[in-house]
Amino acid sequence: MATMQHKIFCVRAFIKTESATAVQRAFRLRFNIQPPTWKSICRCNHQFEQIGCLCKGKSSGQPRVSEENVSRIEESFERSPRKSTRRARRELGIPQPTGWRVLRCCLLFKPYHICLSLVLILKYILTKLSPSF
């Protein structure tokens, strides 16, 4: 359901008719758009009966990383900056994506990849261009 007006209409119509199908028909006639599913209608009605409000509840969001874990990760990568995140995950007992997020967002570490391919390409070009004796 898109708006609060739609939710209010569905709850009122459901209280009158006790039928999600009848609510869908009335919704289509009133708003001239695709009606919500019967499951959405029942969920709104249940929420109104239980809480008394149709407002969207507060979502928990992504849990924060504790300062203790941030400091542990920072110390670990200061000791050996070339350590892989997989190895750090095993040593510190934290999920690998958490380690990535802390390194990139909190500690502002940048990933470093050695570009061996460029060096190899240049060596190949030099060997082809140089005359062989």
Per-residue pLDDT tens digits for 49-101: 998 888 877 766 777 888 898 899 888 888 887 788 889 889 999 998 888 88
* Domain residue limits, the chain: 4-51, 64-133
Summary mean pLDDT of the chain: 84
Q: What angle do CA 54, 11, 53 make, to 5 degrees?
A: 20
pLDDT of 111 > 60? The answer is yes
The reported pLDDT for the residue numbered 26 is 94
**107 vs 1 pLDDT, higher one:** 107
Helices (H), the chain: 4-17, 20-31, 38-51, 67-79, 85-92, 96-101, 116-129
Long-range pairs for 49-57: beta carbons < 8 A, 24 or more residues apart: 54/4, 54/7, 54/8, 54/11
Q: Can you give the pLDDT at residue 15?
A: 92
- Structural Rg of the chain based on CA atoms: 30
pLDDT digits (tens, 9 = 90+) for 100-109: 888 888 888 8
> Are 90 and 70 a contacting pair, CB within 8 Å?
no
